Structure 1
Amino acid sequence: MKAITLDSFGEADVLQLTQVPDPEVRPHDLLVRNRAAGVNRADLNQRRGAYGRADFGDSSLMGLEIAGEVVAMGSEVRGFAIGDRVMGIVGGGSYAELARFDWRMAMRVPEGMDIVEAGAIPEVFVTAHEALVHLGRLQPGEKVLIHAAAGGVGSAAVQLAHAVGAKVFATAGAAKHEEVRQLGADVLIDHRSQDFAEVLQAETGDAGVDVVIDFIGAPYLERNVRALATGGRLVQVGLMGGAAGAALPLDRVLFRHLQIMGTVMKSRTAEVKQAMTRRFAEAWLGHFADGRLKPVIDSRYPLAQAAEAHRRMESGLNVGKIMLLP
């Protein structure tokens, strides 16, 4: 099969389309003919060498999410058949024509949904649900601040928060505000020209928000904590701005009874990932079938143009998911 490989770590040009052996099907595996693969920031980190030559359980090849048709199954698979349209999170291997993954990580593609749109669901929506609902415990009528709201996970979180019935504050570049507003954001904040802490203070009367979903890290930590209402929850999903030099106002944490949590998908065990997938599917999969939720796709690239897809993500211009079409 054809797949994206890299002989060395570095810039996007190291990604090359080559011929590699087909994956071997293990007892619990679905083998899927990939029709769509989402590009994630973890892929950029892998390309740059952050994980070394790690094997993440399914493949040492790049790529964490897929959508396609089942072409083969292991002896222990239950509830699926050859030809089924499925989507899911994989432990590597989606930048390829074929990928294998445990059937307990698979979700059926909603009837009538475009297969490429389905490929834009698994990683970002499962992550957003875990951060916002499972850990953040967002409730109807509460207020939430979502940073990087035009990105893959951010745009998914805005939709989920709106569907929950929360008031959504979102940070994004001004050029992306209208698109984020259409996803369900109530108050848009330009992270380049506005201080989100000042906006929240004015909008909430210094009462703060109940949940903050953050992807930036150290540069935002102190302001995130000070933006939380009594009993508020900060869920750290990424460290795009780095981890060093963060200032934590412990007095605020103590006297406002705050909680700070972290979550990351890649390092979770298979059992935890399966539970995360089930929680998301049970809560939200029906919302895609009837159009209440919709994956946001920024752009689509043939598999051979994986380097261009990475450059698009590195540019920071995307709104929603960047997709590869094997």
Structure 2
Amino acid sequence: MPSLDFSDHARTLGDITLMKAITFDTFGGPDVLQLSDVATPHVRPTDLLVRVYAAGVNRADLTHRTGGYGRPNFGDSLIIGLEIAGEVIETGSAVVGYQVGDRVMGVVGGGAYAEQARIDYRMAMPIPAQLDYVHAAAIPEVFVTAHEAMMHLGRLQRGDSVLIHAAAGGVGSAAVQLAYATGATVYATTDGSKVARVEHLGADVAIDYKTEDFAEVIARRTEGRGVDVIIDFVGEPYFARNLKSLANGGRLIQVGILGGGGEVALKLEDILYRHLQIMGTVMKSRTQPEKHAMISRFREHWLGRFEGGGSLEPVVDSSFPLSRAADAHRRMESAENVGKIILTLEEADLR
């Protein structure tokens, strides 16, 4: 696969090598994002330094931009972005299993919206041979999160049933594919205009959340039994109906609170006598060893399924050059996307 040449963009300020990256001086709307010159990352013993060719846009990036995480520490870098695909250009002294020239994808603790990013080698994965960088950047954050929530915590198995909310989004579309590949019965909520796309990904029953009550659909379709697992990104507005839609012994995995957090009401008797489990998961707030384990679990179970003829495929909604990061954020805020929004780093876009 041909690689891009950034040699014309080698810039120095004294002894500091500079690169292009997206920065912002104040919290706010998409317009605060700007293309700037910043110092290249320092490589630590367990780091890969990666020339970034594509970066995934995630909901967490919008929270970062609007001040939801505060300053100054956003994880591993002050630069926005959690997901990269690119080529290794330097390795730390303690790195095992990777070398310069390898094509890798993975999750970073910040720093993805830039020409170069450092990534702990235990958070990186090799890019399947047939995938380009744009599609590779659509895998790590969403598929790892979907696997952790649905398979590891939710313990979904062949023959089980699962309800996946926001099924056209990044994590949702990944979860639908993993559930289908597992052999589960898949119920999925989405906007009516996206029903066909969600069914194409593997949903047995796609529910238009604007015109249908998902709890009523689940009750009718399962003859009152409910589903074994629910993956929810919405939060408080769905909570009561989620509990109502669980089968005895069912597991609710809370992955996000897009519809609002705050307080919810429940009857402890329901939890006790129906043997329900409620779990939350957020990758960003986990420890590094926990994150390493998440990557390892996903890689072991699913990475080979992206190879030629495999059953999984990254879903890319759209791509934008790095210089148009604000437009990429607007696209995500519109909630019109099906799958991942990707930033690309091409020579002409870094001038």
Q: Deviations over 1:177-204 (max 9, x none)?
A: 0000010000010111110000001100
Please report how far the alpha carbon of residue 245 of structure 1 lies from its aligned counterpart in structure 2 after TM superposition.
Answer: 4.0
What is the aligned partner in structure 2 of residue 169 from structure 1? 187
What is the aligned partner in structure 1 of residue 154 from structure 2? 136
Instruction: Pick the structure with greater CA Rg.
Output: 2
What is the aligned partner in structure 1 of residue 335 from structure 2? 316
What is the aligned partner in structure 2 of residue 298 from structure 1? 317
The answer as to 2:71 corresponding to 1:53 is yes
| Contact persistence 1:38–1:321 (CA under 8 A) | yes
- How far apart, CA to CA, are the structure 2 residues paired with 1:138 and 1:245? 28
The residue type equivalent to 1:69 in the other structure is E
Counterpart secondary structure, 1:132: helix
Q: Alignment partner for residue 110 of structure 2, among 79, 83, 92?
A: 92
| Contact persistence 1:226–1:252 (CA under 8 A) | no
Q: Alignment partner for residue 250 of structure 1, among 268, 277, 296?
A: 268
Counterpart secondary structure, 1:148: coil
- How far apart, CA to CA, are the structure 1 residues paired with 2:25 and 2:237? 34
TM-score, normalised via structure 1 length:
0.99
The correspondence of residues 1-326 of structure 1 with structure 2, limited to 5 A, is 1-290=19-308, 291-326=310-345
- How far apart, CA to CA, are the structure 1 residues paired with 2:57 and 2:222? 36
The residue type equivalent to 1:128 in the other structure is A
- How far apart, CA to CA, are the structure 2 residues paired with 1:251 and 1:285? 41
Q: Deviations over 1:3-41 (max 9, x none)?
A: 000000001000000000111111111000001100000
- How far apart, CA to CA, are the structure 1 residues paired with 2:45 and 2:101? 18
Q: Over aligned residues, Cα RMSD in angstroms? A: 0.8
The residue type equivalent to 2:319 in the other structure is R
| Contact persistence 1:58–1:92 (CA under 8 A) | yes
| Contact persistence 1:222–1:249 (CA under 8 A) | no
- How far apart, CA to CA, are the structure 1 residues paired with 2:25 and 2:123? 30
| Contact persistence 1:225–1:249 (CA under 8 A) | no
Q: Deviations over 1:27-58 (max 9, x none)?
A: 11100000110000000001000111243443
Counterpart secondary structure, 2:86: strand
What is the aligned partner in structure 1 of residue 11 from structure 2? none
Counterpart secondary structure, 2:109: coil
- How far apart, CA to CA, are the structure 2 residues paired with 1:258 and 1:155? 25
- How far apart, CA to CA, are the structure 2 residues paired with 1:97 and 1:53? 23
Aligned residues: 326
Task: Say which is worse superposed, 3-12 or 251-260, in terms of deviation.
Answer: 251-260
Please report how far the alpha carbon of residue 101 of structure 1 lies from its aligned counterpart in structure 2 after TM superposition.
Answer: 1.1
- How far apart, CA to CA, are the structure 2 residues paired with 1:166 and 1:54? 43
Please report how far the alpha carbon of residue 254 of structure 1 lies from its aligned counterpart in structure 2 after TM superposition.
Answer: 1.7
- How far apart, CA to CA, are the structure 1 residues paired with 2:217 and 2:75? 44
- How far apart, CA to CA, are the structure 1 residues paired with 2:205 and 2:213? 13
Percent pairwise identity: 64
Q: Deviations over 1:184-243 (max 9, x none)?
A: 000010111110000001100110000000000001111101100011000000000111
